[in-house]
Amino acid sequence: MCPVAYSGVRAAKNELAFPRLIPVRQNFDAESIEDIEAHVGAQVDSFLAATPLKKGAKAALAVGSRGIAKLDEIVKALIEALRRHEIEPFIVPAMGSHGGATEKGQAKLLKEFGITETSMGVEIRSSMDVVTLGEAMPGLPVYFDRIACECADFVVPVVRVKNHTTFRGDIESGLHKMLCVGLGNHKGAQAMHQYGIEHFGEIIPKAGQYVLGKVSVPFGIAVVENAKELPSVIEAVPGARFASREPELLQISREMMARLCFDELDVLVVREMGKNISGVGMDPNITCRYQASHMPDGPLKIQRIVALSLTKETHGNALGIGCADICTRQLVYDIDFETTCTNAITATRLDRVKIPMIAATAKDAIAVALKTCTGDKTLPPRLVVIKNTLEIEEIYVSEGLLSYVDKHPRLSVAGEAREMSFDDGGNLKL
């Protein structure tokens, strides 16, 4: 049963006025690859022309749980390219502890990305079994998916290179992390996290390179997405160049990454959060709230973050809800606590699943946020509403931010101001 939810509107009904909202566009540079099949095919052809692989070889394509745009097209194009070179691919989920740390759960996640045996035309072999490769450094065992290790001649990871949500380094989310965390399944992910995520900037490159010394990984498919979360770079990176090329791709990703173009906000309303949006539900690279002593909060200062709902695709995994100040009763009802806690325990980040203040409805949650902000109350509130932390090109801002929008080169008004309205159930209407 959900705990009693607070009705902020009832408490503030005599003094609270919701601000009007203005639709605003954040303008980002966003070139993307249009013909995925041709581009991936050319990348694979170029690699195999320089480094031929044995005809008839079996390739395990490692596919993760991140919501990479056009992932199904990328994987399908990779399969077709390998087949042209008479290589026999199959797919293994490479998700660490995601999907509830079960083989069925991970296969289900792939299905939601459009990756099935029928759509891809290859076998999907999902298992939590691992082999022990050894120790990358004293006290750091490295585990690897048993099927990928024992049933394939080589492994090809398919990854997105991007800033991680909880650590900084020359290598963060991408090729190396897939090798030692994603392909380590639940046991491998747990071993890495037990070492301490504050040390990931050091151990992920070492563990990834250790895997490369034990398992045949001739190349990986690295994707860099633009500010609209569409593939801008798709590159077949030779395994021998992972250490040198991944930092370069990470820098490209950082330069392309979308941001909320503000310095200070009173309230950020996030209409939905989930694992398909970010590994921690709401990307802290967007909210600038990291909840980590080794990573101080970013340049955007936000007094209150309100989370209204979980995405359907997250299957109740609410990891990251601890980064919000207020959430709705419906969001709490939708949490799968077993899945959420499994993820938090694996990551050793219990703070990420602390439940914030619960409000009865979205209307109540926003009311509480506005009422509890501090500062000059004679000034209009500075509030922003986003769909989620992936889709921030089209946003809504309160009138208190209009002068800032007018002066910012990347912001433009996209419509008329409107009242902030709610339906009879207190749900935000936009």
Query: pLDDT tens digit string along 142-157?
Result: 999 999 999 999 999 9
Backbone Cα Rg of the chain: 22
Query: pLDDT tens digit string along 194-250?
Result: 877 778 889 999 999 999 999 999 999 999 999 888 999 999 999 999 999 999 999
Residue 6 confidence class, pLDDT cut points 50, 70, 90: low
Give yes or no for a contact between 293 and 251, defined as CB atoms under 8 angstroms apart.
Answer: no
| Strands of 239-388, DSSP E | 264-270, 301-307, 326-328, 357-359, 383-386
Query: pLDDT tens digit string along 50-82?
Result: 999 999 999 999 998 777 889 999 999 999 999
The tokens describing 356, both together, are 């914030």
CATH superfamily of 36-256: LarA, N-terminal domain (3.40.50.11440)
Tell me 20's DSSP state: P
Q: What does the alpha-carbon distance between residue 430 and residue 303 come to, in Å, rounded to a whole number?
A: 23
Q: Is the pLDDT of residue 14 over 50?
A: no
Please state, for a pLDDT cut of 70, what percent of the chain lies above it: 93
Q: What angle do CA 27, 399, 415 make, to 5 degrees?
A: 50
Query: pLDDT tens digit string along 383-415?
Result: 999 999 989 999 999 999 999 999 999 999 999
Give yes or no for a contact between 120 and 76, defined as CB atoms under 8 angstroms apart.
Answer: yes
Start-end ranges of CATH 3.40.50.11440 in the chain? 36-256
One-letter amino acid identity for 238? P
Residue 103 confidence class, pLDDT cut points 50, 70, 90: confident
The tokens describing 339, both together, are 């899945």
Query: CA dihedral in degrees (34, 40, 42, 46; nearest 10)?
Result: 150
| Cα of 206 vs its chain's centroid, Å | 23
Cβ within 8 Å of residue 414, ≥6 positions away = 23, 24, 25, 394
Is 282 in a helix, a strand, or coil? Answer: coil
Give yes or no for a contact between 168 and 190, defined as CB atoms under 8 angstroms apart.
Answer: no
Query: pLDDT tens digit string along 279-301?
Result: 889 998 899 887 666 666 678 99
**Pairing of β 88-93 and β 428-429:** unpaired
Q: Is the pLDDT of residue 335 over 70?
A: yes
Q: What does the alpha-carbon distance between residue 349 and residue 177 come to, in Å, rounded to a whole number?
A: 18
pTM of the model: 0.75
Give yes or no for a contact between 145 and 92, defined as CB atoms under 8 angstroms apart.
Answer: yes
Q: What does the alpha-carbon distance between residue 370 and residue 300 come to, in Å, rounded to a whole number?
A: 18
| Cα of 214 vs its chain's centroid, Å | 28
* pLDDT for 34: 92
